[in-house]
Amino acid sequence: MLIDVALPLSLAFIMFSLGYGLTLADFGRVLILPRAVLTGLFLQVVAVPVLAFLALLVFELPPALAFGVMLLSFCPGGVTSNILTKLVGGTVALSITLTAIVSLLSVLTMPVLIAWAAEQFLGADAPEIDVTSIALSMVAITVVPVVVGLVVRFLVADFATRTESAVSLIATVLFMVVVVVALVTNWDLFVNSIAVLGPILMGLNAVLLLVGMLCARAIGLTGSDGLCISIEMGVQNAALGIAVAGLVAQASGIPEYAVPAAVYGISTYIVTIPGMFVLRAIFDKV
């Protein structure tokens, strides 16, 4: 199927755009702002999956959809978090740094967490999880494009600076196309499950934003840095979630596991944009 080729290529370009917007100085931010970076890493890699798991204990979902929610929680922020951070006045450079580091780290964390979640939620119905194969596939569609984008940015810095906005726009459009295709492909399932998926995805999104802001405040991060940490925790890479669901299912097309990520690809804008402006207004007064 065309989607089996187009989906990984689209994700690869989205990740390329992330690397294209990076400079080597962005990675130096780990040394300059270690507290902010380490907090963001911990919240994204550990706290998000834990809170998603707790939410699934409260909201009862069919096993495949519950597994899909966990897949989504394992994903890093992606280009979407960078765009939303810029929109609400957060620290974009910190957002890009966190997204890049967590994206690279996810190659190690996601395959292991996926194997655990499959056993936890799918049980005997779980497909065979080849951790090594998933890790290698993720390297091909995430790490390699990011590195290529970073190298291109280094070699033709002036050209990259002039075209960065255009590349980011193309990546955003591709992201929306991936989400729409995933929804259309599973339209009947989407219609039948939106009533149960909507509350958990939007509620989890809102809680993650709030927890991110509270944690940022607790370690002394304020203003734009706090907003950045909050968004990085609250916004996941839906396109990666859809692609990884396909890797897990090992089947043609977009599987049922991808539906939560596809729904989230739309609902996150509904929650995050007004939510961040509200949080900024509240915490600016504290």
CATH number at residue 81: 1.20.1530.20
pLDDT value for 31: 65
Packed helices 92-121 and 34-42: angle between N→C axes, nearest 10 degrees: 20
Query: Rounded to a whole number, what is the largest CA-CA distance in the chain?
Result: 54
Domain count, the chain: 1
Q: Looking at the predicted structure, is the pLDDT value of residue 177 above 80?
A: no
Domain hosting residue 187, numbered range? 2-283
pLDDT digit string, tens, across residues 48-107: 999 999 999 988 888 989 999 999 999 887 777 877 887 777 777 788 788 888 888 888
Q: What is the pLDDT of residue 4?
A: 57
pTM score above 0.85: no
